Structure 1
Amino acid sequence: MKTILVLALEGAMDSCLAITLDTIRAAQAFQSRSGKGGAVRLLVAGHRKTVCAGNGMRLDTDLSVAEVAAGAARPDWIVIPGLGLSTDEAIDARFTQKDAIAAMDLLRQAPRTTRIGASCSAVFLLAQAGLLAGRHATMTWWLAQSFRARFPDIRLDETKMLVRDGPCLTAGSAFAQLDLTLAVIADTMGTSVAHLCSRYLLIDQRPSQARYMIRSHIQHADPTVIAAERWVDANLSSPISITQLAAALAVSPKTLSRRIDAAMGVTPVKFIQRRRLLHASHLIETTTKSIEAIAAEVGYQDGTALRKLVKREFGTTPAALRG
């Protein structure tokens, strides 16, 4: 029998915790009705017998983190819902608390066969525990800069909805917990059960966070990168080379590349492409301009090129973005 262990920490986001439990229980019901595959056990572990989530939801746990560490359960998956952290001060304080310390110890001691998934600010817990060192990951896009400053050795791509690297599966913003949970269901109960959950619960596939990013919210402290964003945005309709951009900012291409990588975790080419796509998605959603006109405005040769990039990066079509 496979076991999914949901690690419920104090103050976790009520919605993330409830989404995880409800979706897994729905999957268990679908699997039971189909009569296919072995049963999958769902357990909830916490630091205490009763866990209080961030907005007051109280949940009785099946066993304590200490009991799991002592061998009371050998989970195939450990899933950590988002922690509801939104400031650097809250992040710093959270990982000095007893339940977080015990959870990180448990994650470090987990067998190599155990897979671990976390979404949103819970990805900080995996990183703080050392599980993501040198690995690829994603997390909520609006905390990405804080994450990158703390863990420069982790290869973060906050545009992705899900990133799997080794035993770790990371997910984006809070409701990407749905995507993470479906991936866990597919792994433990099969893809057909995961598809049934997706259909019955009306869960849309969202492979990218990029389309949800609010342009004005993507902040970082590097003045050179801020100036690069402004210059690129002002010249979107024209071809832009890295040499041209570096010259406009009075830095060398090597310095520009290093600063963009440190601030955004991408190459200058990808950085420019993101600016084009962010502006294109904004125009698609807020205007009635044709795709060809928008493509020309943001520097693509034709509408076909823009459509392909939107599909690749956002996992949808321009028509779907426009609704």
Structure 2
Amino acid sequence: MITHLALDGVLEGGLGVGIDVTDTAAKITGDGNRVFRQRVVSTDGLPVRSGAGRTISVDGEPAASEDFGPGDILVIPGPSASTETGVDRLLTGPGGARAVELILGAAANGATVAASCSATFVLAASGLLSKRRATTTWWLAPLFARRFPDVTLLSDRMVVDSGTVLTAGTAFAHADLMLALVARLGGPELAEDTARYLLLDARLSQSRYMVLEHLRSADPALRAVEEHVHANLDRRLTLGELAGAASISPRTLTRRTRECLGVSPIEFVHRLRVSAATQLLTTTRQPVDAVATAVGYADPAAFRRIYRRHTGESPSSTRSRAKTGLP
């Protein structure tokens, strides 16, 4: 069974898409398939208030730990907590504490636990992500990295599967999370059929949705690094040179990029180069190899690998998507 845990402030889109994906997979496989039975619960069995202020009904009493076993899944869509203050309220309130208790009980009984958006903070607070890989919504990535340094954060990924725990990025990455769960329960072909019915595209990365300005605006050192990278896009840059451009030490630059962006300086540079490459791919007719050279990659194959890792698609796919006007 799939149990959706709706926390106070739950984002309706995330909860709704989780229900719809599960329901669609159940209908494709047939009503007799018990794997895709589902329910919506709250931490106290009472209706919850959504992030938009509407009342969300739940299915009876809250789930107890004993209700879970191997093969069951506890899914937590993100609530509306887009700032550090909001995350604090989420984690310190009674609902957050009860959610952590339920997560630990379900996991102890062999269930898989999955969370998206700000709900990943609740999952991390349970300790289940310690020494594991995870993702979260991109604008909260620096905060997540500071609070949970023992978690390997892959902030550019839509979904990270760490075995018995899965995490996803923004609220609408909840669709990607649910498709990953469908693939686990019913196979990749069922996940593809479900996505096709619901017109959900495959997005492996959050990188093309990240607005780095939102994260670096308060740090003049990172702005200086960005300016230096853009002025020298076509050549290799060392950590020492980047630190010199910002008038700080390499160690300080590494610490600043980790604190402000949740990534290393080299990953920051890759993002800037990939962003510039995307601009060239969508606004010029330069061959992909020429674009690679223009943004500092002497090896076109390496450029393609890095580009796909950061955007979830190939350079040619980006160009084709731009031509068709798709998002």
Q: TM-score range by the shorter chain?
A: 0.7 to 0.9
242-251 or 104-113: which moved more?
Answer: 242-251
Query: Would you say 1:79 and 2:59 are equivalent positions?
Result: no
Query: Would you say 1:314 and 2:311 are equivalent positions?
Result: yes
2:142 touches 2:258 (CA, 8 Å); kept in 1? no
Which residue of the other structure, out of 11, 22, 29, is the alignment partner of 2:9?
A: 11
1:49 touches 1:62 (CA, 8 Å); kept in 2? no
Q: Report how many residues are paired.
A: 316
Query: Would you say 1:120 and 2:120 are equivalent positions?
Result: no
CA distance in 1, matches of 2:84, 2:256: 22
55-64 or 11-20: which moved more?
Answer: 55-64
Q: CA RMSD in A?
A: 2.5
CA distance in 1, matches of 2:50, 2:250: 48
Query: Would you say 1:170 and 2:167 are equivalent positions?
Result: yes
CA distance in 2, matches of 1:20, 1:221: 36
CA distance in 2, matches of 1:226, 1:117: 36
Q: 1:253 to 1:88 in 2, by over 3 A?
A: closer
- C-alpha deviations, 1:221-244, integer Å up to 9, x for none? 555444323322322122212232
Tell me the CA shift for residue 200 of structure 1: 1.4
Tell me the CA shift for residue 73 of structure 1: 4.6
Tell me the CA shift for residue 81 of structure 1: 0.6
Which residue of the other structure, out of 78, 92, 99, is the alignment partner of 2:95?
A: 99
Query: What secondary structure sits across from 1:78 in the alignment?
Result: strand
| Structure 1 counterpart of 2:49 | 52
Find runs of 4+ consecutive structure 1 residues off by over 6 angstroms. none
Tell me the CA shift for residue 115 of structure 1: 1.1
- C-alpha deviations, 1:167-224, integer Å up to 9, x for none? 2101011111011001111222332221210121121111111111123223375554
CA distance in 2, matches of 1:308, 1:109: 40
CA distance in 2, matches of 1:282, 1:130: 40
1:12 is aligned with what amino acid?
V
1:144 is aligned with what amino acid?
A
Map 1:226-265; keep pairs closer than 5 Å.
Answer: 226-265=223-262
1:137 touches 1:154 (CA, 8 Å); kept in 2? yes
Q: 1:251 to 1:54 in 2, by over 3 A?
A: closer
| Structure 2 counterpart of 1:152 | 149
CA distance in 1, matches of 2:295, 2:256: 24
2:271 touches 2:310 (CA, 8 Å); kept in 1? no
Query: Would you say 1:203 and 2:207 are equivalent positions?
Result: no
Query: Would you say 1:111 and 2:94 are equivalent positions?
Result: no
Which residue of the other structure, out of 170, 177, 181, is the alignment partner of 2:178?
A: 181
| Structure 1 counterpart of 2:60 | 63
- C-alpha deviations, 1:44-87, integer Å up to 9, x for none? 1112332332224443322333x424x24547111001112111
Query: What secondary structure sits across from 1:116 in the alignment?
Result: strand
- C-alpha deviations, 1:17-70, integer Å up to 9, x for none? 00000110110111117x7x65432121112332332224443322333x424x
Q: 1:223 to 1:154 in 2, by over 3 A?
A: farther
Which residue of the other structure, out of 20, 25, 28, is the alignment partner of 2:26?
A: 28
CA distance in 1, matches of 2:136, 2:217: 16
Aligned identity (percent) is 38
Taking structure 1 as the reference length, the TM-score comes to 0.87
Q: 1:304 to 1:167 in 2, by over 3 A?
A: closer
1:186 touches 1:193 (CA, 8 Å); kept in 2? yes
121-130 or 47-56: which moved more?
Answer: 47-56
Q: 1:305 to 1:72 in 2, by over 3 A?
A: closer
Structure 1 unaligned runs (5+)? none
Structure 2 unaligned runs (5+)? 322-327
CA distance in 2, matches of 1:252, 1:96: 37
